[in-house]
């Protein structure tokens, strides 16, 4: 994929809030009146539909099986109902419990990738929520000129796995535009420390320093929204985590990229302590 309006959201390991961030980012962009498409690219453990309480008629598995086209598998999600169309965005759900994507041949993944690229021409932003890790299918779907957002938490295993992911991604694409989102941080200090640890490792061993897209604070309202299968901005419109994602959505739309620590400035921080 070569379109720069594609934002892939990935992580080195599961359980870091990657899909929640993808869903919340999609709504944040929609609230900015950006025409947005969210694609659940994780066929093994897809859960965009679960987080939003959806029961779609078709999904990405239907597309891969040849039953419907990519376009026909889309549906519009309106969290505030028909009257609030400005906050709506399109979704293509995955298929939980299926290993279809990982079992696809390179040619089949390339065909899917071309279809997504064609769809991207009709949107201001396409968010591709990828499976955790970097298997062959994920690597192929990461071949685009847009942003690569890596979600990481302060957990040492998350930092280590995120570094491994970035290393493999840069090996495939040395010019990849990688942005880090520190999720579930107790406060800005912990978030900045997590970013510094990962950024220093990348600078020392990979020769590059990913930009910090922002820090999302730990927020009990996030858990409440997930349990109720409701979008965060619908359930808790003024949450601290939601405000952080709003700021990140603006930074991800900026071109050229926001200031990085490589240029001598401080990395941009968003969010505040939820404690």
pLDDT digits (tens, 9 = 90+) for 39-63: 998 766 778 999 999 988 888 888 8
Asked if the peptide bond before residue 232 counts as cis, ω within 30 degrees of 0, the response is: no
Which stretches in the chain have pLDDT values below 70?
Answer: 1-3, 43-44, 81-86, 95-103, 255-275
pLDDT of residue 63: 86
pLDDT of residue 273: 33
pLDDT of residue 220: 97
Any idea which residue has 């390179």 for tokens? 106
- What are the pLDDT digits (tens) for 116-169? 999 999 999 999 998 887 777 777 788 888 899 999 999 999 999 999 999 999
Give me the residue spans of the domains in the chain.
Answer: 6-261
pLDDT of residue 101: 58
For 213, the token pair is 């897209």
Q: Which CATH superfamily is domain 6-261 in?
A: P-loop containing nucleotide triphosphate hydrolases (3.40.50.300)
Helices (DSSP H) in the chain: which residue ranges? 18-31, 48-52, 60-64, 100-103, 106-120, 136-141, 156-172, 188-206, 220-227, 232-235, 240-253
Q: What is the maximal distance between C-alpha atoms in the chain?
A: 52
pLDDT of residue 66: 86
Taking alpha carbons only, the member of 160, 125, 165, 115 closest to residue 10 is 165
Per the CB < 8 A criterion, the answer to whether 47 and 195 are in contact is no
Q: How far apart are CA 27 and CA 74, in angstroms?
A: 16
Per the CB < 8 A criterion, the answer to whether 227 and 220 are in contact is no
**Angle 188-206/156-172 helices, nearest 10 degrees?**
40
Distances (CA, A) of 36 to 29, 89, 92, 272: 7, 5, 11, 27
């Amino acid at each position: 994929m070569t379109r720069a309006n594609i934002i892939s959201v990935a992580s080195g390991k599961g359980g870091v809030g990657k899909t929640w961030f993808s869903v919340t980012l999609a709504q944040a962009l929609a609230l900015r009146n950006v025409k947005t498409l969210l694609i659940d690219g994780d066929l093994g453990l897809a859960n965009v539909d679960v987080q939003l309480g959806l029961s779609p008629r078709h999904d990405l598995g239907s597309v891969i099986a040849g039953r419907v086209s990519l376009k026909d598998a889309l549906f519009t999600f309106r969290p505030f109902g028909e009257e609030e169309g400005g906050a709506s965005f399109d979704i293509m759900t995955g298929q939980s419990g299926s290993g279809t994507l990982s079992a696809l041949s390179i040619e089949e993944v390339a065909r899917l990738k071309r279809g997504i690229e064609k769809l991207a021409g009709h949107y201001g932003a396409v968010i591709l929520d990828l499976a955790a890790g970097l298997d062959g299918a994920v690597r192929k779907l990461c071949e685009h000129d847009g942003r690569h957002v890596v979600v990481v938490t302060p957990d040492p295993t998350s930092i280590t796995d995120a570094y491994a992911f970035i290393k493999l991604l840069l090996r495939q694409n040395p010019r990849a535009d990688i942005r880090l989102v520190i999720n579930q941080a107790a406060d800005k200090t912990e978030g900045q420390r997590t970013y510094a640890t990962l950024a220093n490792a990348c600078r020392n061993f990979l020769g590059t320093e990913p930009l910090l897209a922002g820090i999302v604070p730990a927020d009990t309202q996030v858990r409440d929204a997930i349990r109720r299968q409701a979008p965060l901005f619908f359930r808790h419109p003024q949450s601290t985590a939601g405000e952080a994602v709003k700021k990140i959505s603006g930074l991800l739309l900026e071109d050229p990229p926001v200031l990085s620590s490589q240029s001598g400035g401080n990395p941009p921080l968003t969010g505040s302590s939820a404690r």
